[in-house]
A and B are shown apart, each in its own frame.
Chain A
Amino acid sequence: MKKLIEFKNIVKGFDDTIVLKGINLTIHENEFVTLLGPSGCGKTTLLRILGGFIEQNNGEVYFDGIEISKLPPYKREINTVFQRYALFPHMNVYDNIAFGLRIKKTSEEIIKQKVEKMLRLVGLVGFEKRAVTLLSGGQQQRVAIARALVNEPMVLLLDEPLGALDLKLRKEMQIELKKIQKEVGITFIYVTHDQEEALTMSDKIVVMNEGEIQQIGTPTDIYNEPENRFVADFIGESNILEGIMHDDYVVSFDGITFDCVDYGFHDNEDVDIVIRPEDIDIVSVEQGKIHGQVISSLFKGVHFEVFVKSAHREWMIHTTDPVVINDQVGLSFYPEDIHVMSKLGAY
């Protein structure tokens, strides 16, 4: 795939605080890229730099090979779906969607065709004359998407577009957005702080924290091979512990030595280790690598969330088999379930 956008060492500060601390990121054509990170980590700021609404203090932004930092927003082939939609309240649905085309002096006939096509795409046929202030959150969000897409941008920026919707509508819109992206075949850059949303929708996830990129990878990469403690913690609940990497494929924690599949660390390097709750099996005490006492069990719909207290810590385990509280149990996991991470971040 062709490189479309390149951030090179982007630094941005407001007043005294540095919000982006040297972002390097490449985005390809037709990719669905998600910026994922906790509130205040700089996601919106990065998006606004790409949209042209603010300028970075340092670094360059390349679009299709050309440096665009000095280009005003209205000259960029990028459209945005804003965090709170920013629909024009004095216009109806049709006029909102037609706004960009009218600015470009497109003939009303062509506008009509294009707007109708968009309304079909987002499922709002028949709403043309409706005032946008009278639409539901989900409908407003679709208008915002249609208003952006009708201009046929090369890139669509979406800043937490589903943030205001309830869970059920959110799930529906996630699927719909993904479908729309496949249909129009353009690059989506999507911002969210919801890890589940990021995992289900993205081709590529960029995990950010405090103005720095923590990891870039596919959803499976990010989930299965978190590069550091922050990523492991942010992507789903986990057991995160400290250990020592004795040698390639040999790690120890809680006073026990285990086989693992990781390698390339220094001898006896201190490391962080992640074991996902769903990767741990509850077995009999004799069969377990570690043993402890069940202290709680909560039914979560699909699975039970069980806590087991061992000599060194409490373990979170997801299992479909019910357990009895206060029972002594063994815990078992495979070498490939032990994810070893360098304390320094990248390998």
Chain B
Amino acid sequence: MVGSKKAIISSIVMIGGVLLFFYLPILILMIFSFNDSRSLTSWAGFSLRWYQDLLSSRDVASAVTTTIIVALISTVVATFVGTLTAIGLSKSKKIVKDVVNSVNNLPILNPEIVTAIGMMLLFSAMNIPRGYITLLLAHISFSIPYVILTILPKLRSLDPNLAEAAMDLGATPWQALTKVIVPQITPGILAGALIAFTMSFDDFVISYFVTGAGVKNISILVYTMSRRINPSINALSTLMVLVITIVLVLINVLPMFKKKERMPIE
């Protein structure tokens, strides 16, 4: 009994240590984003001046807009394409499924830097000027595998006869898709969309290589700003962490709501 109590305590200490290791840097960054002085080590009182700096900086404003617009568009496109691909895959022969699945997993397992350089080379080979468009295309393409990966398990758990049942009752294949299959996998689609959004929102490596013509997202801006000491980075990073946290919480909380809805009403 004593031994197991010790084990519990030591495991709590371990978890605490790991969490501290993960979150302490972020916590310090957040705290110092409210620091009144330029110093990154000594505390000089609470202030929002770095946030004001942010709001007044044109660079930051444009980076934020770029990030959000690219994230939104790439999420919508990647979710649409990914959903249809996943549904198509689930109806394909095993061999097609296996091949596409491994091709799909490749970009996820591949080091990001390889994908980044690959895309950069592709865009220059195809003579596409680097900028907004290339950034968007890259984000769409690296988000799709994640969408597919989140939706496929949902599809696998569906009754294989559902689409047939719908068509049996007179639905065209498109109606079967929109009225039966998609409503069934909506939680999966939402989760996929949120993941695509976070992937795009905080991407640095790939964005850095494929963008050009002064188009910067937040991550790139932070990187360029970090060359000289500038606490605005802290403020900006804090905001990013906030957005990502909100999205992650949504991903985890939404399914719980879905389950509640299904509870008997009577």
Q: Is A74 an interface residue (CB 8 A)?
A: yes
- Could you tell me if A80 and B183 are in contact, using CB atoms closer than 8 angstroms? no
Q: Is B127 an interface residue (CB 8 A)?
A: no
B182 to chain A, nearest CB (A): 10
The residues of A that contact B170 with a CB separation of less than 8 Å are 74, 100, 103-104, 151
B178 to chain A, nearest CB (A): 12
Residue of B162, B170, B172, B184 with most chain A CB atoms under a 10 A cut-off: B170
The residues of B that contact A52 with a CB separation of less than 8 Å are 167
A63 to chain B, nearest CB (A): 15
- Could you tell me if A134 and B169 are in contact, using CB atoms closer than 8 angstroms? no
The residues of B that contact A80 with a CB separation of less than 8 Å are 164-165, 168
0 or 1 for each of B169-197: is its CB under 8 Å from A? (1 = yes): 11110010001100110000000000000
Q: Is A72 an interface residue (CB 8 A)?
A: yes
* Docked CA distance A172–B70 (Å): 61
Interface size on A, residues (CB 8 A): 29
8 Å CB contact of B167 from A73, A89, A129: A73
Interface residues of B in 148-168 (CB under 8 A from A): 159, 161-162, 164-168
0 or 1 for each of B231-266: is its CB under 8 Å from A? (1 = yes): 000000000000000000000000000000010111
* Docked CA distance A60–B20 (Å): 71
- Could you tell me if B165 and A74 are in contact, using CB atoms closer than 8 angstroms? no
A72 to chain B, nearest CB (A): 7
- Could you tell me if A90 and B171 are in contact, using CB atoms closer than 8 angstroms? no
- Could you tell me if A82 and B169 are in contact, using CB atoms closer than 8 angstroms? no
0 or 1 for each of A196-230: is its CB under 8 Å from B? (1 = yes): 00000000000000000000000000000000000
- Could you tell me if A74 and B264 are in contact, using CB atoms closer than 8 angstroms? no
0 or 1 for each of A112-143: is its CB under 8 Å from B? (1 = yes): 00000000000000000111011000000000
* Docked CA distance A39–B265 (Å): 40
* Docked CA distance A74–B171 (Å): 6
- Could you tell me if B175 and A103 are in contact, using CB atoms closer than 8 angstroms? yes
Q: Is A53 an interface residue (CB 8 A)?
A: yes
Report whether over half of chain B's contact residues are helix, strand or loop; otherwise say mixed.
helix
* A51 (CB) vs chain B CBs: closest residue: B168
* Docked CA distance A134–B171 (Å): 25
Residue of B161, B264, B266 with most chain A CB atoms under a 10 A cut-off: B161
Q: Is A249 an interface residue (CB 8 A)?
A: no
Question: Assuming the A-B contacts A129-B265, A134-B264, are A53 and B164 also in contact, with contact meaning beta carbons closer than 8 angstroms in the complex?
Answer: yes
The residues of B that contact A151 with a CB separation of less than 8 Å are 169-170
8 Å CB contact of B168 from A73, A87, A129, A134: A73
* Docked CA distance A82–B170 (Å): 15
B193 to chain A, nearest CB (A): 19
* Docked CA distance A104–B170 (Å): 7
B179 to chain A, nearest CB (A): 8
The residues of B that contact A265 with a CB separation of less than 8 Å are none
0 or 1 for each of A32-68: is its CB under 8 Å from B? (1 = yes): 0000000000000000000111000000000000000
A104 to chain B, nearest CB (A): 6
The residues of B that contact A304 with a CB separation of less than 8 Å are none
Q: Is A309 an interface residue (CB 8 A)?
A: no
Residue of B166, B167, B169 with most chain A CB atoms under a 10 A cut-off: B169
* Docked CA distance A73–B161 (Å): 13
The residues of A that contact B165 with a CB separation of less than 8 Å are 80, 82, 86-88
* B175 (CB) vs chain A CBs: closest residue: A103
Q: Which 6 interchain pairs have the tightest Cβ spacing?
A: A100-B169, A86-B161, A86-B165, A73-B167, A103-B170, A82-B161
Residues of chain B at the chain A interface (Cβ within 8 Å):
159, 161-162, 164-172, 175, 179-180, 183-184, 262, 264-266
